[in-house]
Structure 1
Amino acid sequence: MSSLSVYHVLSPDIPNKVLTHFEDIAATLGEKGIRFDRWQPTAKLQAGASQAEIIAAYQVQIGTYKAERGDVSVDVISLDSEYPQKAELRARFLKEHSHAGDETRFFVTGRGLFSLHLDDYVYAVLCEKNDLITLPAGTPHWFDAGEQPHFVAIRLRDESKGWEEQFTGDEIASRFQGLDD
């Protein structure tokens, strides 16, 4: 189940608010300029579907997204517990960073935890199957797929604005719970 836990930066062990209803999560994040949505496939996907099959199953939603946001690149990222550099990748994304362009992820399967550092609060968003999240450019955040990752996600991004991580140097992520905690 998708959830949103909101913490004050000085209280990383006790959330001020925990939401589990889609509408409440979307409204709370929307107040901060974060898009949280749900997409349904237009075709049934089989386990092990190719990138082309996955994109085709969501082509209607991707087309609408592109019409709203402009031209973006679309690809699929898949990560599971067999990935040889999973520990290194996890360590990299557990460091607070931002991007020059918007970051959008749609979870086809599995789950991941986006933690957003907004002013004096951390918004920990557990995204699961059918969840879409868009972080505006410059949003400080970190991402955790857990020690045994399992997800397939569609990435939508504007390549012209830069995709490389811009690490903040803030160690805040180390004070907050991860996906497996």
Structure 2
Amino acid sequence: MTLLQIMSDKHSGDVTLRTTDDAVIAAELGKRGIMFERWPLPAELSGATSAEDLLAEYADRIAALDTDGRFKFIDVARIHPDESDPEWPAKAVAARTKFLDEHRHAEDEVRFFAAGQGCFYLHLGDEVLATVCTAGDLVSVPAGTLHWFDMGTQPEFVAVRFFEEQDGWIGDFTGDKISAGFPTLDELLAA
């Protein structure tokens, strides 16, 4: 379930909006310069769909998003639990904690979730917008936007990533531990 929860950046309990309405989510994010769209999910699409097939399935939408040709690198990131791997729990923790602290990027962070879920926490002025993205959601976080990302305690998603530069995913961490005072992805979904 796609979800937007807007909170004060001083106190996470001060919630000014909580909604699962896609139109409201798109409007609220749009007012703040964040692009949000819902792309259709073909019935045959699954978390096991190959990267090549996924990119082919969405080739027209990807081309429409990249009309100016700024995205030089488009790939598919996949995190899937591997119960047969005894190191999976440690790998899951490492993957999750990598972007839990507030950071920003030098270019727009554009993601299309083809499967699974993750939450972008956008720190915009005196607000934090927890944006839970699920299968079918496309979000574009503008360059320089303070944010963090939580993939939950059981990370699982498939996402198409759009980059202008090969190292566009590198985060510039602020050192602010603001994220520790906000509900995790798991807590947002349980509420």
TM-score between the two structures when normalised by the length of structure 2: 0.88
Contact 1:97–1:167 under 8 Å retained in 2: yes
Instruction: State the alpha-carbon separation in 1 of the partners of residues 40 and 57 from structure 2.
Output: 9
Q: Structure 1 vs Structure 2: percent identity of aligned residues?
A: 39
Show CA shifts across 1:78-116 (max 9, x none).
Answer: 112334511012112101111000001100011111100
Partners of 2:32 and 2:42 lie apart in 1 by: 30
Equivalent residue number for residue 45 of structure 2? 45
Deviations 1:121-176 (A, max 9, x none): 10000101100000000011111110111110100111178431100111000000
| C-alpha contact (below 8 Å) 2:41/2:135 kept by paired residues | no
Counterpart of 2:139, as a letter, is I
Q: Is 2:109 the counterpart of 1:103?
A: yes
Q: Give the superposition deviation at 1:21.
A: 1.0
Amino acid at match of 1:90: R
Per-residue Cα deviation, 1:25-44 (whole angstroms, up to 9, x for no partner) = 00110111100001125683
Where does residue 171 of structure 1 map in the other structure?
A: 177
1:20 maps to 20
Query: Does 2:154 match 1:141?
Result: no
CA 1:2 to 1:41, structure 2 compared with 1: closer, same or farther past 3 Å? Answer: closer
> Does the 8 A contact of 1:98 with 1:165 survive in 2?
yes
Q: Secondary structure of the residue that 2:66 maps to in structure 1? A: helix
Distance in 1 (alpha carbons) for counterparts of 2:181 and 2:158: 27
Give the TM-score normalised by structure 1: 0.93
- State the one-letter code of the partner of 1:38: R
Any gaps of 5 or more consecutive residues in structure 2?
A: 83-87
Is the contact made by 2:102 and 2:148 (CA closer than 8 Å) also made in structure 1?
yes
CA distance in 1, matches of 2:114, 2:47: 11
Residue 98 of structure 2 corresponds to 92
Return the alpha-carbon distance in structure 2 between the equivalents of residues 14 and 178 of structure 1. Answer: 16
Aligned length: 181
Contact 1:42 1:58 in 2 (8 A): no
Question: In structure 1, what is the Cα distance between the partners aligned to 2:44 and 2:97?
Answer: 34
Q: Distance in 1 between matches of 2:180 and 2:24?
A: 27
Structure 1: segments with no counterpart, 5+ residues: none
